Amino acid sequence: MRVVLVDAGGTNIGSVRYALQRLGVEASLTADADTIRGADKVILPGVGAAGPGMARLRELGLVDLMRSLAQPVLGVCLGMQLLCKHSEEGDTECLGLIPASVGLIPDEPGLRVPHMGWNQLALEQSHPLLRDVRDGDWAYFVHSYAVPLGAFTLASAQHGVSFSAMVSARNFHGMQFHPERSGDVGSRLLRNFIEL
């Protein structure tokens, strides 16, 4: 099983790698197109802003490659947002693999943005990624921008508004929260991805 982490500059790469090691999976960190293309599973981690994240993928010559992948791909946090069509953050064109646009979480009285901390998952449909995950399980979020609900939404969460916590379209999947910081639920979700 060849699992790769795309080296797109995310500061969560080390913690994602360690979470996979706890599952017995050694994931290599790479920006090499041939290595990514030849992997069984591809993970696109990310922390930060959409503009620099896409700029890094363009600089590495990985945009068309990411769009062409046929194996299971998982975007984590910013990585999930980069799988979408567009982000309001910096008016950024993204990879266009999830048919959604990413928007700023609406500012409401008493609502803290960024959304930071534990929140519950509401399961929206069944999917192999959600095996042994229950409605109401908790996951750890850190984000100011969110993907709206759609036919691609596997699980949602609520922070003022409801938003997509997990998405899937064809072989492309995303988790807005940090599975590597979400305890047993996060481990279960990463294992389910590896077993897709």
pLDDT tens per residue across span 56-104: 999 999 999 999 999 999 999 999 999 999 999 999 999 999 999 999 9
Residue 169 has pLDDT above 80, yes or no: yes
- The pLDDT tens digits for 108-164 are 899 999 999 999 999 999 999 999 999 999 999 999 999 999 999 999 999 999 999
* Residue 38: φ, ψ to 5°: -90, 0
Give the pLDDT confidence score for residue 93 in this predicted structure: 98
> 4 falls in which pLDDT band (50, 70, 90)?
very high
| Residue 159 designated active-site | no
pLDDT of residue 31: 95
Confidence of residue 46 (pLDDT cuts 50, 70, 90): confident
Listed in sequence order, the residues at least 6 apart from 163 whose beta carbon sits closer than 8 Å to its beta carbon are 105, 146, 147, 148, 149, 156, 157, 176
Predicted confidence at residue 50, as pLDDT, reads: 95
Q: Which residue has the tokens 């036919």?
A: 151
Residue 8: what pLDDT? 81
Please indicate whether residue 84 is annotated as part of the active site. Answer: no
pLDDT for 49: 93
* Known catalytic membership, residue 77: yes
**What pLDDT, on a 0 to 100 scale, did the predictor assign at position 86?**
98
Residues facing residue 103 across a β-bridge: 146
Domains in the chain (CATH in brackets) are 3-194 (3.40.50.880)
- Rounded-to-integer distance, Cα 164 and Cα 148, Å: 6
Tokens of 83: 């799988």
Instruction: Give the long-range contacts of residues 134-140, CB within 8 A, separation 24 or more.
Output: 137/185, 138/182, 138/183, 138/185, 139/165, 139/175, 139/177, 139/178, 139/179, 139/182, 139/185, 139/186, 140/177, 140/178, 140/181, 140/182, 140/183, 140/186
The whole-number pLDDT of residue 11 equals 66
What Rg, from alpha-carbon coordinates, does the chain have?
A: 15
Q: Which of 115, 143, 159, 178 is catalytic?
A: 178
What pLDDT score does 10 carry? 67
Say whether 96 sits in a helix, a strand or coil: coil
Considering 94, 115, 159, 180, which one is annotated as catalytic? 180
Locate tokens 């399961």: which residue?
123
Catalytic residue among 26, 59, 77, 195: 77
Place 107 in a pLDDT band, splitting at 50, 70 and 90.
Answer: confident
What pLDDT, on the 0 to 100 scale, is given for residue 9? Answer: 74
Residue 176 tokens read as: 């807005």
Q: For position 14, what pLDDT does the model report?
A: 85
